[in-house]
Amino acid sequence: MEKPDIDSVAAAIADYYDIHLREDLISADVVKDIHIDEDVVFVDLEFGFPIKKYKSVLAEEIKGQIESVKGIKKIHVHITHKCKSHIIQKNVKRVDGIQNVILIGGGKGGVGRTAITANIAAAIADEGARVGIIDADLFKSDLYFALGIIEKIKTEKNIFIPVEKNGIKTVSIAGILEKEHNSAVWGSNKVSRILNQFLKGTKWGELDYLIVDMPSSSGDILKNILEQYPVSGAVVIGIPDEFSEKDIVRTSNIYKKRDVPLLGVIENKSLNICTKCNSMEHIFGETELKQVAKNCGTDIIGSLPYSHELQKSMDVGLPIVLQQPSLQISRVIKEVAINLVARLSQQPLSKT
């Protein structure tokens, strides 16, 4: 019987195109070891992003690729993940224990940023990552309630203890001030101090991803975050709207000036889910967001349909990906979340 060799197995794996990484696993440097013992093949894969629920399906697909190699009787595919720190902007120091900071913004209001941020964080945590969220919208803190948090933030020696729920650690101005003061307008110095406290004066512990829910404007808060926070990447949410498209370009240019990579654009409220067949189609036809993203040096990492369930989940206080994981909207958000962290995993690694 013809014996299998490592080159043949590697070639078979190279034929597998990963939709999240947008390349084959050999080129993506995911394959860490291929070992052959007589007619038994052992393959070790290590992804740079969490794939706890995705890896069983992936393992079977990889086995299917390798089965075409002659002389193989048994295949073992071992899949792990290891989140690593990626490069940040210059003249900003890292925070111990926090691997990566990701900004999620929307430029203008009304794009569904908070609901999407809450669900992306929940989806990533559900895949096995250690996740935290900073609600940087100091003037309209909806995220705290979207996550179903009612507790106030406790302190230990002036250090914030983030509230943890559903595997996500969170700090928000809503957890500090009384409800009637949540929309208070502060000066730039106080904004800077509270944002610094959220990042450096909070007991985060070890996090793979600290997600920052950005406010609609690009004023003092964005400026302070780009000056203080060690940002590994950003994503912008847009809707089929001329003003939203202009905001994406404007925000992209701000990130570019600070050497913050734009990992992608999330297109929201542009699709409709058919109630009969569950298929999705563009409500307004193909939008301009794809070209806008391309002009900004990135692309669309996912298109989300308009969803009443997603909006209702904000009131319930439990992300839809956890509340009703089998819904079409939940599955799409999970794909977007994995796409996001997969894109980050392809960024250059930090040298420090």
Write the pLDDT tens digit of every residue in 285-316: 666 888 899 999 999 999 888 888 888 888 88
Contact of 293 with 299, CB cutoff 8 Å: yes
pLDDT class of 182 with cuts at 50, 70, 90: very low
Instruction: Give which of 86, 193, 92 is closest to 138, Cα–Cα.
Output: 193
Claim to verify: residue 17 and residue 149 sit in the same structural domain? no
Phi, psi of 164 (to 5 degrees): -110, 130
Higher pLDDT, 149 or 277: 149
AA identity, residue 189: N
The two tokens of residue 343 are 């894109």
State the Cα–Cα distance between residues 328 and 334, nearest whole angstrom.
10
The answer to whether residues 114 and 178 belong to one domain is: yes
Bridge-based pairing state of the strands 98-105 and 131-135: unpaired
**What pLDDT, on the 0 to 100 scale, is given for residue 107?**
62
Length of the chain: 352
Instruction: Using pLDDT thresholds of 50, 70 and 90, give the confidence band for residue 141.
Output: confident
pLDDT band at 201 (very low <50, low <70, confident <90, very high): very high
Amino acid occupying residue 269: K
How many separate domains does the chain show?
A: 2
- Could you tell me if 110 and 247 are in contact, meaning their C-beta atoms sit under 8 angstroms apart? no
246 within some domain: yes
Quick one: pLDDT band at residue 325, thresholds 50, 70, 90? Answer: very high
SS3 4: coil
Q: Report how far residue 251's alpha carbon sits from residue 106's, in angstroms, rounded to the nearest whole number.
A: 9
Distance CA 94, CA 100 (A): 9
Residue 176: burial class (beta carbons within 10 Å; 0-12, 13-18, 19+): middle
Of the candidates 36, 31, 107, 49, which has an alpha carbon nearest to the alpha carbon of residue 75?
Answer: 36
| Any domain includes 142 | yes
The Cα–Cα gap between 62 and 69 comes to 12
For the record, the structure tokens of 247 come out as 């905001």
Domain containing 37 — which CATH number? 3.30.300.130
What is the predicted pLDDT for the residue at 183? Answer: 46
Task: Provide the token pair at 114.
Answer: 């908070």
Say yes or no: 230 and 124 in one domain.
Answer: yes
pLDDT for the residue 297: 92
134 in Cβ contact with 117 (< 8 Å)? no
Alpha carbon distance 257, 296 (integer Å)? 12
Tell me, yes or no, whether 75 and 105 share the same domain: no
Residue at 4: amino acid letter: P
Shared domain for 264 and 304, answered yes or no, is yes
Whether residue 235 sits in one domain with residue 112: yes
Residue 266 near residue 237 (C-beta atoms within 8 A): yes
What tokens does 66 get?
A: 């390798």
- Tokens 């089965």 belong to 67
Q: Is 332 helix (H, G, I), strand (E, B) or coil?
A: helix
pLDDT score, position 273: 66
Q: Indicate if 275 and 324 belong to the same structural domain.
A: yes
Strands 231-238 and 262-273: parallel
Per the structure, the complete domain to which residue 60 belongs is given by 6-81
Q: Is 275 left (phi over 0), alpha (psi -120 to 50) or beta?
A: alpha
The CATH number linked to 163 is 3.40.50.300
Give the pLDDT of residue 336: 96
Q: Is residue 351 part of a domain?
A: no
125, pLDDT greater than 80: yes
DSSP state of 259: T
Among residues 81, 109, 144, the one where a domain terminates is 81
Do 33 and 128 reside in the same domain of the chain? no
Chosen domain end from 53, 81, 109 = 81
- The answer as to whether 176 is a domain residue is yes
In a domain, 226, yes or no: yes
Give a yes or no: residue 315 inside a domain.
yes
- At residue 190, φ and ψ (nearest 5 deg) are -70, -35
| CB contact burial 219-236 (16+ within 10 A = b; e otherwise) | ebbbebbbebbbbbbbbb
Flag whether 86 is in a domain: no
- This prediction has a pTM of 0.92
User: For 4-60, how does the pLDDT look when each residue is reduced to its tens digit (9 = 90+)?
Assistant: 889 999 999 999 999 999 999 999 999 999 999 999 999 999 999 999 988 999 999
Percent of the chain with pLDDT over 70: 90
Are residues 324 and 261 part of one domain?
yes
178/67 same-domain check: no
pLDDT score recorded for residue 305: 85
**Domain match, 76 and 103 both:** no
> Of 50-54, 83-87, 94-98, which gets the smallest average pLDDT?
50-54
Task: Classify residue 88: in a domain, yes or no.
Answer: no
Average pLDDT, the chain: 89
| Predicted pLDDT of residue 7 | 94
pLDDT of 284 > 70? The answer is no
Buried/exposed code over 261-294 (b: 16+ C-beta within 10 A; e: otherwise)? bbbbbbbbbbbebeeeeeebeeeeeebebeebbe
Q: How would you class 249 by CB atoms within 10 Å of its CB: exposed for 0-12, middle for 13-18, buried for 19 or more? A: middle
Confidence of residue 164 (pLDDT cuts 50, 70, 90): very high
Q: Domain end: 48, 81, 114, which one? A: 81
- 185 and 247 inside one domain: yes
Return the number of other C-beta atoms located less than 10 Å from residue 186's C-beta.
14
